[in-house]
Each structure stands twice: as C-alpha cells, then as structure tokens.
Structure 1
Amino acid sequence: ADAGDIVFEHIGKLDSESVKEIFYSASRVSSDVLIVDLDVFSGKEIVSALQSFRIARPNTRIIVIAPDRKPGDEIISSIVGLGIYDIAAGKKESDWAEMIKNILLSPPATYAQAARWHTGQLLNAFVQTKERVIIEERPAGVVTIAVSATAHGIGCTHTALSIASFLARLGHSAAVIEDSQRPVFSFLCSVLKAKEGKVEGSYAVHGIDIFPDESRDDGNWSYDMLLKKIKAGQYEYVVRDLGVLDSARKREMYRADTAFVVASAARWRWHEIIDRIDSDIDIIFPLALQSDVEEISFYAGIKGTALPYCPNPFAKENDFIFLKLLAPVLPSRRKKKSLFGISLF
C-alpha cells in the first residue's frame, strides 16, 4: 500500500466478543498508524485489546479519539499507562478530521502531554520498572538467566546452550548449569569429547563451561550446590537449564535476573501457555512462523518471540534475536559529555 492509504477499516459498534477479533485482524496488517474511536466500545476490554495490539505491532503509532472524555477517565488512564499518548479529546461535535490531521502532522505525543489523563495509579509501577531497567543495564555480580519449557523435547536445552554461546561470542564468561528432569549434559560432553572447564566438575564446550546435573535426585538444585564453584570460576553469566516448568521451577525462574519459557506455537498446544505463564516472562517459540507467534501473543497477552531454525546451538545465526531478548541484562556503553563537548565512553 502507498503512504496514506487505509489498509484496514472497521465502522460500527463493538461488543466484548468482537473487540478482540477486530484488533487481532488489525494487528495482522502492517500499518504506520492505528486510529481508534473509543465510542465504538465502552467496556474495559478495549484496554487489553490495545495492549495485545501493541505487543504484536510495537512500532505502529496509536491515536485514540476520546469524545466527551475528561481527565480522570479510567479507560484513558489505563491506555496512557500502556504508553499510548496521542489522545484526541473534545466534544462530539468537534472537527475530528482536522484534529486528527494536526496530530498526524505532529511528532508522536510524549507522556508529559498525556499526563493529565493519567490518574497516577500506575505511575509508581512505571517508575519502579524504569529504575529496574537502569540497574540491569549495569549488572553487578553474576547474572542468572533461567530457561524452562512447557513440555519435553521443545528445545529448552538447545535454547539454554544458544544463549550461553551468544554471551561467549560477546566476550563474556558464561556457564550453563543443568537442573532439568532429563539430564543430557554428561552424554553431550562425552560425545563432544569436552575438556575440563575453569573449575572442577565443569566441561569446556565452544567457549562456555557446562555443568552436568550431578545431584542424583537428592532434592537439591545443582545451581545451589555449585555456588562456590560459580564464584571461583568468576563467571559473568550463568544460564540455568531448568527443563519442564512446574511449581518448583517457577519459583526458580523468579530467583533469576531474567527468565525465558520455551514453548510451541501450534494452536493445539496453546493451552500450555494461556493463563499459565505470567505476562512479564518472555516466551520463545522455536521453529515458529512470525505470524503464528503474533497470533498467540495477541490472544494470550504474552511477549512472544519466534526463533528461526538453527540446528547448531553454538552457531551465531540467531544472535540478533538474543541481543534483543537479553538487552536488559547486557552491559551498556553510555556516552557522557564533558564541558568541552568531548565524548567519553
């Protein structure tokens, strides 16, 4: 479509059932701008529909038309809390075409411009999240990354090894610790004829240290028993292969600095994800089409990422994806200006 063309349009009122369908259909279309008139639906479901749309289309600018709405409106406050700041407000008889035209000709609105609509209920959560991200950009000590899966054979171990290998290519000291229900690292190290790693009990494989599970089902986590060795190895990152997610492993996920769940995007397996995995945990879908991931992300309200086919976990083909997924726990280099305008790193 050419610039300025309408690629999707819906006219008419929506009910609680159709609002999600319409927004999902809109998310399947590549667009620069989405214009939403709040008069088409008055229920709170439109907030979750907009949230799912933003997950599926994070780069699409969203403009909300809000006739006869005033600051303090609960719906608009929640919409602003999603990071949607282009709010066109006025009386129903206003010249909406001219108002939308002016918004489109202007840069996207900022939070400062939309703050009057925000009740403040989500303000503290926003500040805390922002502060947490700043801290994670400069991780102190060992950073722990937990990887689990919704079922056996989906790719939990493959993903854990891929993440550690990616970190090693960035020049970081990384280790993988096995805490899954079906240990395979001992066999892997034997097949690869791996040499001894930095510390006793570890094996060096493609620039990373692997710790096979040697807990012998005694009820203890390998990670907990290896804390001294982790410190001795001076690892910057430790990736935990947790295996299939259960209640105990879910607690371990929250102990980590960041966590990922590996799942299938097949429609007949959606039940393994919907209402079972917290929306703040990134879900990785190996071998999935981007369209399938966008679909399940929309309906389940999750953060899904498609991981293209790459049979070798130590290859670099998917580095660009892991760079994005691990950005919150990777060190950043910020430019600082001196009084004389010289940039220091």
Structure 2
Amino acid sequence: MMRFPSRLERGSILGGRYQIVRSIGSGGMSHVYMAEDLRLPGKKWAIKESLAHPGYQGNVVTEAEMLIELQHPRLPQIVDFFEPDANGYTYLVMDYIQGITLTEYLNKHDFILPFDKIIRMIQEVMEVLDYLHHRSPAIIYRDLKPGNIMITGAEELRLIDFGIARNYKETHQQDTVKLGTIGFASPEQYGSGQTDVRSDLYSLGALFLFLITRGAHSEWIPGVEQLLRHEAFRPYIPIIRKLLRSDPGSRYQSVEELREEMFKLSHRSLPDIQEQGAVFPHGTCVVSVIGTGPGVGVTHTSIAIAHYLARLKCKVAIIEFSQRATAFSRIDAIAHGEDGVTEERRMFEISGVHYFRRTSKKEILQLLNSNYQYIVLDLGCERHPYSMEELQRSDVPIVVGGAAEWKQSDLYLFSRSYESAVKAKWNYVVPLAGKNTVVRLRKNLNSKYVYSLPLQIDPFDQEDDVDEAISDILKDIVPAMKKKSFFFKKRN
C-alpha cells in the first residue's frame, strides 16, 4: 500500500484559489481535505491529494478523466484538476459532501437499521452502479464498501472515491493491478480474472449481507442465516448467496437482472398484502412526476395517479415538492372550505389520499419510512438539481410534456439534456396525444415508454380509459388487473 507525506496543511492555498480548512481523511493512496473557495466566499470543496509515481502510473489522471464525464446525483462532481507536478503530486477538486460515511452511520445506530432503509440503500447503490456499468466503456467501481458510501444530513446516499475504479477492457484476461478491500472485493480482484460488472455485484452482495447481519459478516459462511433475526430478510437469502458466488458466471450478470429478481420477490404476495392493508415488503414505491414547462399537467397527472392507486385499496400520499407551489393550498380550500385551511395544516385528505403541501426533503424521508405503500411526488416544472435527483431515484420516473406541436420541442430538449443511462427508465406522458403523435415521439425520443392520457376533466374522479392508461404506466409496481376482475363500473 502506497503511503506518502502530504504537502497540504491548514491555511495552505492551492492554485491561488482553494484554502485548506482541515483534513477530512487519509488512506494509503490519498489525503482528502476540505477547502474554502477564495473566489466564492462560503463555498466549500473537497480536495483529494494523490501521488503519481512509476509504481502506480496514471491512476489519478484516469480518475479525473472519468469523473469529469460523470453526471449523476449520487456521485461527486469534479470541478478542477491539477495534473501531476515534477514530484508527482496531483489534486482533484470536487463537491464537498457534508455528512458521514456509512461506517460512521452504522456505528452511530449500533448497526441496527430498519428493513425498509436497508432495502432502499441497496436499491440506491444499484442505481449508481447501473449508471456506471452503462458507460461506454463500462466503469467498474471495484471498491464498494461502507467507508466509500457517504450519508448526508438529509440521509441521502453518495458514492465516493474512484481511486481504484477502471474502465472494462474486453481484450484483457485479468486486471494488471490487484486491488480491493478484503471482505468486500470479489475473488477475481485477487488474480483469478478480469473484473467486470459482476465484480461490483459481488461487492453489492457483500454490502447487503454486512447490513442485514449488523456488521458481522460480508462473506457467506455456513450458519450466517441464523443471524437474520428479522423475518423480512429471509426471502433475500437466495439473492445474496447468488451475488456472492465465487464464479462470476454463476452470479447475476447485470443490475437489470438483479433488479428484476428483487422486483419479483417483493411482489410475490402483493394481493394478500393489499387485502390486509399492510406495508409492502420492499418498502414504499415512489412515483415522481416532473414537467417540461408550465401548463403541461404535472399536478393533474399526479393527482390522477394517486387516486387510481387509492382505488386499488392502497395507502397513498401525494407530495408537493416545490416550496413555492400553491396548487395544494387551492385544492384544500376548495375541498374543505377557506375556513378550514391554515398555513400550519400541512396535510389534508381527499378520498383516501393524503396530500402534503410544500414538503421539505427531511419530511419526505420521514414519509418514505412510514407505512405508505405508494408516494406520488409532484415535482412541478422546475429543473432544480434536487428535483432531478428525486426523479432519478424514484421507482417510476415520469416526464410530462405537451401534445401540441409547438410544445413537443420542449420534451425533446428536456430529454437531450441528459445522458441515455440517466433517462433509461423514464416514462414520457403526453396528455391528449393522438396515436400518431405517440408513435412519432417514441421514435424521436428513442423510447418505447411514451404514453398518452385521455381527457379527464376531474382528476379526482374515475374514468375507465384513464385508469387503463395509468395501469400501463405503472405496470412494474402494481399487479396487472385482468379484464374480468376489473371492478370499476362503467359510467352510463
């Protein structure tokens, strides 16, 4: 393990701009500092100091090149890079993530986390791995462990430290450098072959096992299942064991394959769960809705979806994300009368749907850990980084655009602003669009997930054709309803 003395200390100024405030941490291959921006008073950055030398050629430059191109809400954004000087010292300047590592977080909570929170963490790690694996060439992270996962003050997950990540090379039989963290690294990282996407999936399995055994194990050994005191974890044992198989060919071959398996597992007893009114075993499903511009029908669509789910006997909340939004206040006033509405009243109910007005990120996290089966997140049409983050990590992300010819360009511009891997699971909804429009949009957006919503004057009411359209959009998170058992009565 490489070790070297740091050239930075408190008060040092890098590049005439970044003043070192304090050390964040040190490892065998780098030192990390928090720095203040002298040009932007109050702005803080993280600076990673590394040493490039013949024993570890090009690592920092490679990391910088990778990070510069990456755009994902769960990854740090690089903002500056100082190439190796005459002595090999080099510096990366990136987002300063205020929070603690997952290791520290687990220690703080005595390694006891709720079932839903653990499942959500694993799903969030899957999100970012899926993004990395869909790069061209694929990026293999290779060092997934609690110490490289940050938990922010709002309990959001971030993946940090790309020190040993690498691009996958099809022509290589095995990695040139054998690196990784014992207990979390895959067997091929020690010389049995080249690392690929399945190596990260092994590490994901190790992390999963580590979390559900309260830090006792990250490798499968006989008797581990006896430590799983929470019955909800037991159905996941076959998934974890498959992730941790020594032979990469016997593991899941992609995040998509793993996600499909977890989806099947979590929905295997859905009808019984709905009938009992219990919480879904995989936690709360989130449907996020964002618009390409004002007036396209974001709130109307969000309400229609929420009330469709409520009619399926589900416990549903709909959340107004924007702090400047007024739609829910007007709805509350109309539904309950002006006298019954106050600024302190943040929640009200209509036909079994709980409406939350102007909800903070902290409140959203609390609702995610509650017993709602579904949450519909009305993100409005502001393309704020936080809104896009919520869109990206939701179970069903929906982008609403206008069907009018002159509004369709907004949908194209919105889509082209993001990489294919980011928008891979987006659903595009265009209210009142005709069949020809939908076909054209699917072709131009290069997505089969483009849907039209029929006319619905009142989103709180039920219309058979609207329900069928929403059912198609939500088919991955709600059970398909057979025609003969469709219980809604047609209107006269």
Equivalent residues of 1:177, 1:222 under 8 A apart: no
Counterpart-to-counterpart distance in 1, 2:367 and 2:377 = 15
Counterpart of 2:453 in structure 1 is 307
Asked whether 1:185 is paired with 2:328, we answer yes
Query: By how many angstroms is 1:125 displaced?
Result: 5.6
Asked whether 1:147 is paired with 2:289, we answer yes
Asked whether 1:325 is paired with 2:468, we answer no
Asked whether 1:291 is paired with 2:436, we answer yes
Q: Aligned pair in 2 of structure 1 residues 135, 242: CA closer, same or farther (>3 Å)?
A: farther
Counterpart-to-counterpart distance in 2, 1:267 and 1:169 = 34
Counterpart-to-counterpart distance in 1, 2:409 and 2:392 = 22
Counterpart of 2:241 in structure 1 is none
Give the letter aligned to residue 264 of structure 2.
I
**Uncovered stretches (5+) of structure 2, i.e. residues with no partner:** 1-252, 269-279, 482-492
Equivalent residues of 2:302, 2:377 under 8 A apart: yes
Counterpart of 1:270 in structure 2 is 408
Give the letter aligned to residue 276 of structure 1.
S
Q: What do the CA deviations read for 1:278-303 (whole angstroms, capped 9, x no partner)?
A: 24200100111121111111122122
Asked whether 1:164 is paired with 2:302, we answer no
Asked whether 1:134 is paired with 2:134, we answer no
Counterpart-to-counterpart distance in 1, 2:480 and 2:406 = 40
Alignment of structure 1 residues 91-130 onto 2, 5 Å: 124=254, 127-128=257-258, 130=260
Counterpart of 1:258 in structure 2 is 396
Counterpart-to-counterpart distance in 1, 2:263 and 2:369 = 25
Question: 3-state DSSP class of the match of 2:460?
Answer: coil
Counterpart-to-counterpart distance in 2, 1:124 and 1:236 = 27
How many pairs are equivalent? 202
Question: 3-state DSSP class of the match of 2:336?
Answer: coil
Alignment of structure 1 residues 36-47 onto 2, 5 Å: none
Question: 3-state DSSP class of the match of 1:324?
Answer: helix
What is the aligned-residue RMSD (CA, Å)?
A: 2.9
Q: 2:380 aligns with which of 225, 239, 243?
A: 243
Query: By how many angstroms is 1:310 displaced?
Result: 0.4
Give the letter aligned to residue 300 of structure 1.
L
Q: Aligned pair in 2 of structure 1 residues 126, 174: CA closer, same or farther (>3 Å)?
A: closer
Q: What do the CA deviations read for 1:190-248 (whole angstroms, capped 9, x no partner)?
A: 1111779xxx73101122111111xxxxxxx524324435655x321111100015141
Query: By how many angstroms is 1:141 displaced?
Result: 1.7
Scaled by the length of structure 1, the TM-score of the pair is: 0.52
Give the letter aligned to residue 332 of structure 2.
C
Question: 3-state DSSP class of the match of 1:252?
Answer: helix
Give the letter aligned to residue 478 of structure 2.
L
Q: Which has the higher contact order (CA 8 A, sep 6+)?
A: 1
Equivalent residues of 2:290, 2:298 under 8 A apart: yes
Equivalent residues of 1:136, 1:328 under 8 A apart: no
Identity of aligned residues (%): 26
Q: What stretches of structure 1 move > 4 A for 4+ residues in a row?
A: 229-232
Equivalent residues of 1:265, 1:293 under 8 A apart: no
Equivalent residues of 1:148, 1:242 under 8 A apart: yes
Scaled by the length of structure 2, the TM-score of the pair is: 0.38
Q: What do the CA deviations read for 1:149-183 (whole angstroms, capped 9, x no partner)?
A: 10111100001111110001000011111013533
Question: 3-state DSSP class of the match of 2:326?
Answer: coil
Give the letter aligned to residue 325 of structure 1.
I
Equivalent residues of 1:163, 1:322 under 8 A apart: yes
Give the letter aligned to residue 431 of structure 2.
P
Equivalent residues of 2:308, 2:462 under 8 A apart: yes
Equivalent residues of 2:397, 2:425 under 8 A apart: no
Equivalent residues of 2:471, 2:480 under 8 A apart: no
